[in-house]
Structure 1
Amino acid sequence: MSAPLRHPVGDGLPEPTIRIATLADLDALVALEHAAFATDRAERRAIRHAILSPTMDVLAALIDAPDADPTPVLVGAAVLERRRSTRIARLASIAVAPNRGGLGLGGKLLDAAEAHAHSHGCTRLRLEVRADNGAGIRLYERRGYTRFAVRPDYYEDGMEAWRYERAL
């Protein structure tokens, strides 16, 4: 991605920039992972691997700091996996900072992930979502994703995952 993608999030709120994450974002990505998920968190090593992998992309959503601090604030992220042997990409994760929930940032990250996968020649996007994640399920179904499978006992706590897919 050559230029950052910019999307409005809400009335009067800072507009996030969505770009490919770098190792400079690692600490903020780890903090976001711990703030956004109670279980099934990616460890620092896995996030670092995703940033450096030629077949994975970590999209970072950042806003300008509210004060004069020049360092932007990470408010969301998405992890996208691509395999060389298929044109199907996998959305491994979307995380939104808890204080940014309900503002449409998850949808903006999903849009960016879809566009990014498509730009790499992928024709379909798949994902898993917890069966009890009503907000996530509503988002994906509103965006045209179709459930095609269930994976029992997928998450650490035994919750099943619903698998979704959509043509890009």
Structure 2
Amino acid sequence: MIRLAALSDLAPLTALEQASFVCDGVGRRAMAGFLRSGAALVLLDEVGGQLQGHLIVRFNARHRIARIYSIAVAAHAMGQGVGRALVARAEALARARGSACMRLEISVDNAPSQALFRACGYAVFGHYDDYYEDGGAALRLQKSLAQAGPAQGALAR
């Protein structure tokens, strides 16, 4: 089940970030800020009360571009469509808020995440050298959020 996260979800969300990222993960204080912010949504996928994954999307009032700030899927839930379902829900919510485009950055070394977003219709439009704390480079990806046709509706989970 995908739902909006609440402050009561702070501990498991932060634990998943720490387990998923060696550097540049969202810390407890920043996660709490996202949970309180009207300019961000934190989605989580859980089954039987167990966290499967989460996604943070940020919005900017000055333009219609939403940004996926972080996505993490628990090791036990990899390959089960959790990431794809979170991305689809984030896109639907961003579209409902008037966003025209969704963007994100992915490490050039993160092939599984690149494959996920390419499968979801994202395309590379740029590159950042020395983007991450460890000096790693990032690809910039984006997708238009123009209204989906009947065959392209958001995935249900």
Within 5 Å, which residues of 2 pair with 1:66-145? Answer: 72-145=49-122
Task: Write the distance in 2 (CA, Å) between the matches of 1:36 and 1:99.
Answer: 12
Give the alignment partner of residue 50 of structure 1, picking from 28, 34, 40.
34
| Secondary structure, aligned partner of 1:27 | helix
**Pairing 1:153–2:130 present:** yes
Cα deviation, residue 31, structure 1 = 0.9
Question: Residue in 2 aligned with 1:9?
Answer: none
AA in 1 matched with 2:98: G
Task: Write the distance in 2 (CA, Å) between the matches of 1:145 and 1:52.
Answer: 28
Task: Write the distance in 2 (CA, Å) between the matches of 1:75 and 1:36.
Answer: 12
Q: Give yes or no for contact 1:32–1:75 (8 Å, CA) kept in 2.
A: no
For 1:60-100, what per-residue CA distance to the aligned partner results, in whole angstroms no more than 9, with x for missing partners? 11111xxxxxxx11111000000111111000111001111
Cα deviation, residue 104, structure 1 = 1.4
Question: Residue in 1 aligned with 2:148?
Answer: none
Task: Write the distance in 2 (CA, Å) between the matches of 1:130 and 1:60.
Answer: 22
Question: Which runs of 5 or more residues in structure 1 are unaligned?
Answer: 1-16, 65-71
Q: Give yes or no for contact 1:19–1:61 (8 Å, CA) kept in 2.
A: yes
* Matched residues, number: 145
| Secondary structure, aligned partner of 1:154 | coil
Cα deviation, residue 158, structure 1 = 1.0
Question: Residue in 2 aligned with 1:41?
Answer: 25
**Identity across the alignment (%):** 39
| Secondary structure, aligned partner of 2:90 | helix
Task: Write the distance in 2 (CA, Å) between the matches of 1:101 and 1:56.
Answer: 25
Which stretches of structure 1, 4 residues or more, deviate above 6 A after TM superposition? none
Task: Write the distance in 2 (CA, Å) between the matches of 1:131 and 1:40.
Answer: 14
Cα deviation, residue 139, structure 1 = 1.4
Question: Residue in 2 aligned with 1:19?
Answer: 3
Question: Which runs of 5 or more residues in structure 2 are unaligned?
Answer: 146-157
